[in-house]
Structure 1
C-alpha cells in the first residue's frame, strides 16, 4: 500500500507541474492574441484594397500582363504553406497540411507538377520526416511576423513566377494559411495568389452603386508592374498575420484544455491516494487488533 500511495503522490506532483506550464502558456497566448488581432484588423482592409486596385487595372485597361493573363498550359504549380515554428497548438498545423495534401492531389490530377514553399518549423519538419523536397523554407518569426519576412517570401515567389517553367519557374501560385475568424474558430484558407483572379467588373453594380472611372498614368503596363510586388507582399503579410493570430488562439485553447485535463487528473489521483491511505490505515489497525487478540488469547 505504501508503494502505491507514493506512486499516486508522484503522479499528483507531475500533474501539478504540467498544469503550471500549460497555465503559463495559456496566459502568454492570451496576452499576445489581442495585439495579433489588432494587426490583422489593420492589415486586411489594405490587402483587400490593393487586390481590388490590381483587379480594376486588369479589368479596365484591356492589356495582357503576366499578373492577370492565364497561361495556355500550366505545367508547374507552387503551394505556399503557412505554419508555425512551435507546436502545442492543437490541430493548427495539421489543418493546413491536410489542405495542402488535398490541393496537391487535385493539381496532380490535372497534370501539374507541384512544388512547395514552406513557412514555419513545424511544416518543414513534416516534410523532412517524409523526405519530401521544398523549393524554399522560412523558419522563425511566425509568432510575430514582420514585413521584411513578407518581402523576402514575396520576392522569392515573384522570381519563381516570372521564370519560365522549363527553367524551374512556376505557372501559378497558391497559398494556404489559417484564417482567423473568432477565438474559437480558425479556418484553413486556400487562395490562388497568381495569376490574379479578376474580381472587379465581374458582378453587376448595385442599384445605387456607380462604377468608378479609371485613368492610368503613365500607362496600364507600368501601373501593373508597380502594383505586382505590392500586391504579392501585402497578401503574404496578411496571410502571415492571420496565421499568427490563429496560432495564438489555437495555443490558448489547447493549453486551457490541457490545464482542465490536469485538474481532472489531480482530482482523480487525489481520490485514489486517499483511498490507498485509508486502506493502509485500515490494514494497520487490523494488524494491531489482530496482534492484541493473539496476545489476549495466549494468557
Structure 2
C-alpha cells in the first residue's frame, strides 16, 4: 500500500511540473501572437497598394506577360509548403501537410508532375522521413519571418517558373499555408501563385470599400511597369502568407498549451483522489489489524 501511495505522489508531482511548463508556454504564445498580428496589419497597406497597382496595369492594358499568361498545357506544378520550425502546436503542421498531399494527388491525377519547395523544419523533416525530394528548402525563420526570406523564396519560384520545362522548369506554382482566422481557428489554405491571379485586396486586411479607379496613362510602357511590379507583388503575397502562418502558429500553440494545462489539472485531481482512497484504505487496514490483535489477546 505504501508503494502505491508513493507512485501516486510521483504522478501528481510530474503532472504539476508539466502544468508549470505548459502554462508558461501558453503565456509566451499569448504575448507573441499580438506581435505577429501587428506585423500582419503593418504589411497590409503595402500589399494593398501593390495589388491595386498590378490590378490597374493588368486591367487597363492588353499586354501579354509571361507571369500572367496561361500556358496551353500544364505538365509540371510546384507547391510551396509553409510549416513551422517547432512543434507543440496541435494539428498546425499536420493539417498543412495533409492539404499538400491532397493537392499533390489532385495534380498528379490531372497528369502533372509535382515539385515541392519547403519552408519550415517540420516540412523538411517530414519529407526527409518519407524520402521525398524537394527542389529547395528554407528553415530557421518560421516564428519571425523576414522580408529577405520572402524575396529569396519569390526569386527561386519565379526563376523556376521562367525556366523551360526541358530544363526543369514548372508551369504553375501553388502555395499551401495556415491562414489565421481567429484565436481558435487556423485553416489550411492553398492558392495558385503563378500564373498570376490578381486579387482585389490583401486577404489579411479584410473587406475593402469598393473604389472607382481612374483612367491610367503608363510611363514608361505598361510592359516595363508590369516587369517592375510583378516581382514585388509576388514577394508581398509570399511575405503575407509567411506572416499569416507565423500568427496562426502562435495561436495554435496557445490553444494546444491551454488544453495541455487543463489535462494536467484533470490528472492532478484524479491522482489526488486515488491517493486519498489508497491512504484511507491503508488506515482502515491498520485499524483492522490493531483491533484484530486486541481481540486475539483478549480471548
Match of 2:190 in 1: 190
Instruction: State whether residues 67 and 224 of structure 1, in contact with CA within 8 Å, keep that contact through their aligned partners in structure 2.
Output: no
Shift of 1:59: 2.1
In structure 2, the residue corresponding to 1:50 is in which secondary structure? helix
Is 261-270 or 143-152 further displaced after alignment?
A: 143-152
Change (3 A) 1:198 1:37: closer
TM-score (norm 1): 0.94
Instruction: State whether residues 181 and 187 of structure 1, in contact with CA within 8 Å, keep that contact through their aligned partners in structure 2.
Output: yes
Match of 2:255 in 1: 253
Change (3 A) 1:199 1:245: closer
Distance 1:256 1:12 in 2: 19
Match of 1:204 in 2: none
Instruction: State whether residues 80 and 175 of structure 1, in contact with CA within 8 Å, keep that contact through their aligned partners in structure 2.
Output: yes
Q: For each residue in 1:66-118, what CA deviation from the matched residue of structure 2 results, as whole angstroms up to 9, or x when unmatched?
A: 11101111111110011000011011111111111111111111111110001
Distance 1:177 1:120 in 2: 11
Instruction: State whether residues 59 and 198 of structure 1, in contact with CA within 8 Å, keep that contact through their aligned partners in structure 2.
Output: no
Match of 2:233 in 1: 231
- The alignment yields a C-alpha RMSD, in angstroms, of 1.4
Q: For each residue in 1:135-191, what CA deviation from the matched residue of structure 2 results, as whole angstroms up to 9, or x when unmatched?
A: 111111111111111111111111111111211111111101111111111111211
Alignment partner of 1:240 is 2:257: no
Distance 2:184 2:264 in 1: 21
In structure 1, the residue corresponding to 2:40 is in which secondary structure? helix
Match of 1:6 in 2: 6
Distance 2:55 2:110 in 1: 26
Distance 1:250 1:24 in 2: 15
Match of 1:152 in 2: 152
Alignment partner of 1:124 is 2:124: yes
Could you list the runs of 5+ residues in structure 1 that have no partner in the other structure?
201-207
Q: For each residue in 1:259-298, what CA deviation from the matched residue of structure 2 results, as whole angstroms up to 9, or x when unmatched?
A: 000000000000000000110111111111111111121x
Instruction: State whether residues 68 and 198 of structure 1, in contact with CA within 8 Å, keep that contact through their aligned partners in structure 2.
Output: no
In structure 2, the residue corresponding to 1:188 is in which secondary structure? strand
Shift of 1:56: 2.4
In structure 1, the residue corresponding to 2:175 is in which secondary structure? strand
Shift of 1:198: 4.3
Distance 2:175 2:277 in 1: 56
Match of 1:46 in 2: 46
Match of 1:23 in 2: 23
Number of residue pairs matched? Answer: 290
In structure 2, the residue corresponding to 1:116 is in which secondary structure? strand
Change (3 A) 1:106 1:45: farther
